[in-house]
Amino acid sequence: MPERERPISEQFRVVAKQWVDDDKAASILEESKSAVLSQMMLKEGDIPVSKAEMRVKGSAEWQDYLDKMVNARADANLRKLHMDYLRMKEREADREDWNARSERKMARQTT
């Protein structure tokens, strides 16, 4: 069934599940940042910590990790916005339904 034909509640469920997965991926990367930095610094060998940190933080590998972490959070945020959009869409549909019922009620009262 095409997405536009699915009930809003089902669309929301699907997007919410995707958001949970995206948020989990972003959180893992964020929470692992210090451990990844330490592991990368250990690979530098027996050098002072400050020098190892400087080398790692200047590396393409560290930049790739940061990019991946930021992109994962951006993906989760976009999915969250999609959930908010579906909530607004549902409220709009409810409001339109309420307005139509009110108009019908007023039309019956004036006749």
Could you report the per-residue pLDDT of 77-110, keeping only the tens digit for each? Answer: 999 999 999 999 988 888 888 888 888 887 888 7
Positive or negative, the CA dihedral 37, 38, 42, 47 is positive
Residue 99: the pLDDT is: 81
- Please give the share of the chain, as a percent, with pLDDT higher than 90: 72
| Residue 45 located in a structural domain | yes
Crossing angle of helices 33-42/49-57, nearest 10°? 110
- Residue 57 near residue 34, CB atoms below 8 Å: no
Cα maximum dimension of the chain: 91
Structural domain includes residue 4: no
The more confidently predicted of residues 18 and 110 is 18
Query: Residue 3 falls within a domain, yes or no?
Result: no
11 vs 32: CA distance, rounded Å? 32
Note the pTM of the prediction, 2 decimals: 0.77
Q: How many structural domains does the chain have?
A: 1
Q: What local confidence, expressed as pLDDT, does residue 111 receive?
A: 64
State the chain's mean pLDDT as an integer.
92
Q: Which domain holds residue 79?
A: 9-110
